[in-house]
Chain A
Amino acid sequence: MKGLAPIFAVIVVMATVPLLGVSNVTLNFLVVALMTALAGQGWNVLGGYGGQYSFGHAAFFGTGAYVTAVLQVRYGVNAWIAFGLGIAGGAIVAAVVGGLTFRSGLRGAYFALVTLAFAEVLRISASVAPITGAGVGTLVKLDLHAAALQFQNRAAFYWTILTLVAIALIVTRLVERSRFGVWLIAVRENEAAATALGVNATAVKLTAMVISGAITAAAGCFYVQYFLFIDSGLAYGTWISIEALLTPIIGGVGTVFGPLVGALLVRGLGQAAQLVAGGDVPGLDLVVYGCVLVLIIWFAPRGLIGAMAQLRTRSVRPAPLARAGHG
């Protein structure tokens, strides 16, 4: 399959990082950055390729997290199975939200607002429902065995999240090169024109939303296994909705590697700012995110990868005016 080689190269290089003897702090930073990247990869399928800007991907992240946690804690389900069911839960929530919004023809800002509302409804419900542990949250029992999907060693967690990111990268590449992907991009560019060419826009958007929800839910499932705690603010809070859309927008919307690049950059800068400020300044990382977002939208509206691609084509192609002269 063409186009998978760069993905394998990146993943192999990244897989060697724990072998270089980096500190646990660095490894922890990378695990969280990769988890953000995974949430962003989910957003990118729907937002980047489909042009449907969701403001409520927390709905999928949180559902993945809660399903994984609650099934283990209350029903004694094996962690691996709970993880899989968490992903399925995110996909189901995506199907419901997508079915309701796309069927009623919501687009643009209206779609963004309704997704935000769904996430908020889930957050408030989770903060009062007994099954989620309500305001107290749910604590997953410490059980450092591979069978319980918990690891003594941070490197094992790192490789787990890296594997998930790799799968999401491959899924994104396959989507991009399939008929479904071509139609999804067509819907983003011009929905009426796509419909005239035989594209069932509602079905295409709904499918993208389900894939998107499943990937972002996987990040939520991983969150629970890594931190062993979840409450309504962590699961369904706007922080993850924002990070899920920020990382692809900064890295490059509608590109395979956009969310990964964006997550590493954003998380890296957030961390660096904390170091410079000398300690834990609450909200400083958000200030950094905001500044980066303004700079990207101003100077590189198609993200870092988009900007690099543009530089490359500019050096190869003649200037637009010269081209017009020939044509």
Chain B
Amino acid sequence: MAEPLLRVERVSRRFGGLLAVNDVSLTAQQGRITALIGPNGAGKTTLFALISGFLRPSYGAIRYGGADVTGEPPYRLARRGIARTFQIVQPFAGLTVRENILVGAHLRHPARATAIVAAEQVGRELGLDAMLNRPADTLTVAGRKRLELAKALATEPKLLLLDEVLAGLNPSEIRDIVPIIRALCRRGITIVMIEHVMQAVMSLAEHIFVLAEGRIIAEGTPAQVAADPGVVEAYLGHGAATRLGGAHAD
């Protein structure tokens, strides 16, 4: 297999007495969708913060595109092509949707005119074209999630870290956004997504890592992970796998 775009090597992060991320290694293959799942509090968002430079790992290394990028600040990683969305969306509340996307577009387009064209292009791609002039804080939850994605995309990333972009959306909104994510992948953007909406994870991801209590407890294709008793126990509690197995046998 080719060298992965992202390689997290034995990374740990400690907050005082709490080991939030414990000796985690994972890889994201170029042009694929990789998912990171796990119960609440497993350390998924912390791991994203480590990859995107918002936190420094206490131990371990992060390699991106063959280079060691451990400890680089977020803005420099963004210039290298790593973009992230935030689980709690972070719009520039006082600005319009167009101005929000423009901030990201300016990373690759210093001139105002071309940056605006690029921003509007991204807005259209995500179905925000009718809302470009609206203040960001007037958007619905689904609109804000799309805007969060649009801002990140406007930086023209190679690696996109999506932190629960589907959370809080209703089924029809999820149906609208899933094809957009798939199209991004087809365009060659490598995606790592944290997601709780299992239906979407199973249909989108090619490879899944399962994080629980700061450790990777399983990895594999969606089918392999779903069949792993350890994963079922992590979500439903100790002994759940055997009880469920027993229920099936009845």
Contacts and interface: CB of A to CB of B under 8 A. Distances in A.
Contact of B155 (A183, A185, A198, A200): A198
A183 B95 contact: no
Q: Which applies to chain A's interface (DSSP): helix, strand, loop or mixed?
A: helix
A199 B75 contact: yes
Given A189-B94, A196-B152, A198-B75, A179 B106 contact: yes
Interface residues of B, number: 34
A185 B136 CA distance: 14
Contacts of A189: 92-95
B115 A179 contact: yes
Interface in A179-205: 179, 182-183, 185-186, 189-190, 192-201
A186 B112 contact: no
A312 interface: no
Interface string B84-115: 10100011111100010011101100111001
B93 A195 contact: no
Interface string A56-93: 00000000000000000000000000000000000000
A184 to B, nearest CB: 10
A121 to B, nearest CB: 31
Q: How large is the interface on A (under 10, 10 to 19, 20 to 34, 35 or more residues)?
A: 20 to 34
Given A193-B90, A198-B155, A179 B138 contact: no
A145 interface: no
Given A196-B83, A196-B152, A197-B155, A183 B103 contact: yes
Contacts of B104: 197-198
A195 B74 contact: yes
Nearest to B115: A179
Given A177-B112, A182-B102, A201-B75, A190 B90 contact: yes
A98 to B, nearest CB: 18
A310 B244 CA distance: 60
Contact of B112 (A178, A194, A196): A178
Sorted nearest first, the 8 A-B pairs with minimum C-beta distance are A198-B78, A189-B92, A193-B90, A198-B107, A186-B103, A197-B104, A179-B106, A200-B75
19 contacts: A182-B115, A183-B106, A185-B99, A186-B95, A190-B90, A190-B93, A192-B54, A194-B92, A195-B74, A196-B84, A196-B86, A197-B154, A198-B78, A199-B103, A200-B75, A200-B76, A320-B138, A327-B131, A327-B140
